[in-house]
Amino acid sequence: MIETKLNKINTLQDVSERNINPEVRIESDSLGSMEIPSNAYYGIQAKRAQENFPLPVAKVHPELIRSMGKVKYACVCANLQTNTMPEQIGSAIKKACIELINGEFDEQIIVESIQGGAGTSINMNVNEVLANRALEILRVDKGRYDIVSPNTHVNMAQSTNDVVPTAFKVSVLSMEENLINSLEKLFLALKDKEQELDDVLVMGRTHLQDALPIRLGQEFGAYSRVLRRDIDRIKSAMKSLSTVNLGATAVGTGLNADPVYIQAAIEELCSITGLNLEVAEHLVDGTQNTDGYIHLSSALKNCALSLSKMANDLRMKASGPSCGLMEINLPPVQPGSSIMPGKVNPVMAEMMNQICFQVQGNDHTVSLASGAGQFELNVMGPVLFKNLFESIDIITHGAEVFAVRCIEGITANKEACKEKVENSVALATALNPHLGYEATSGIAKEVLKSKRSVREVTLEKGLLSESDLDEIMQPKEMTEPGIAGKHLIGIGVRQA
């Protein structure tokens, strides 16, 4: 029947049915008719959405377009397997899906990322593109939805409410590898710096005040370890997105979706994506709840907070070059002032701070949107997707460039670090195991009063020898538990 209809259209189409203006075609929906450019693959519903949501925020993420193509491909394959899709139409839609996946119709996805309707606009934009490309493959004019319909055929056994969330999860899982690789690169850069700077003693600080000495390598070791935990948290959150609600249709009841179709669709989707996906055990739950998105957004936020703290530390430790801490040198990547010659700013750390602020703000948006769901559907999906995409993208790109253009090039100002340690009254605490609290308290008071170093006052009082002090002030001696005092047991506690 479909072949006969196609042949009739291709050979005997009445000229009177064509538009007078060859540059446009007329499309109709339940709200009326509109002119659509004749060469456009999108249709009336996408055009309405473009006019309704002219928001200069961001177009639909390219990864979501690819994933929509993959989901639609899996669905048409399943419909062909269950003999509910005409073979000729199904084959044409499959070919159109492959072209969409390959990025051939990105410019035809004209809707904005933020839109009302829980994603109906992006779903229908994709449906129309695939339908019109299928018509073109069948050598029929675009817009002949009585032959290939965006709703009847492309959207068969589907709803926006199961297709779009499934496509989003496929997108995020497809982005995981690049995200984790970027964070792993930063992790390895921090680990390398931990080893490289392990013999550099610096003044540790609490409350922004001198505390006790610490090795610079230990500080970088702490940065690497929190990042390791952040990576593990992100991986765990990603796993929770492998459960999808494909086949749930509108409210999770699976109306119009045959169980055989659901199983076939998920198997095909796993095959085309290479992902280990599974259908939600409870499709109503899978359709109305967005806790998986919150879990991932929270993990990204945690990572951002860790990275922001790290960037703050590095900026402060590199402050100077004459009047700041100047304990480390950050790679000079660009001039820092339009008026002050020679000024170089910590721009890579500043960039990382700003990325982290954005991710934290995105997480707040995701939280608000997730809590704004009602009954069987959270209609705020589009803004959830936009913000999670942005967080993943900027952490992915930011972490790698931060590793390469900042962390890998950090060096220590060893003399400045040594001077600060030896001139700090807090160093007297390291003498406690050797001299006792009372004696070291007297040294500290004298240091504060005379503005001399702990070494100078201790030697002047004759409490320890130069060689004793050299040994006590070894980096390992001062920065690891259980070592202090072991080699000086024979000296005993001397009186001030």
- The SS3 assignment for 18 reads coil
Report whether 37 contacts 24 (CB < 8 A): yes
Residue 209 structure tokens: 């005040």
Closest CA to 383 of 151, 153, 57, 36: 57
Q: Please, what's the b/e burial string for 142-156 (b: 16 or more CB within 10 A of its CB; e: otherwise)? A: bbbbebbbbeebbbb
Residue 337 is a catalytic residue: yes
Report phi then psi at 201, rounded to 5: -90, 130
Closest CA to 177 of 238, 229, 225, 102: 238
Report whether 66 contacts 98 (CB < 8 A): no
Closest CA to 118 of 381, 469, 298: 381
Which are the contacts of 386, defined by CB distance < 8 A and separation ≥ 6?
57, 58, 61, 113, 114
Which H or E run contains 46? helix 44-52
- The one catalytic residue among 28, 236, 337, 450: 337
Count CB atoms within 10 A of the CB of residue 490.
5
Q: Which of the residues are catalytic?
A: 337
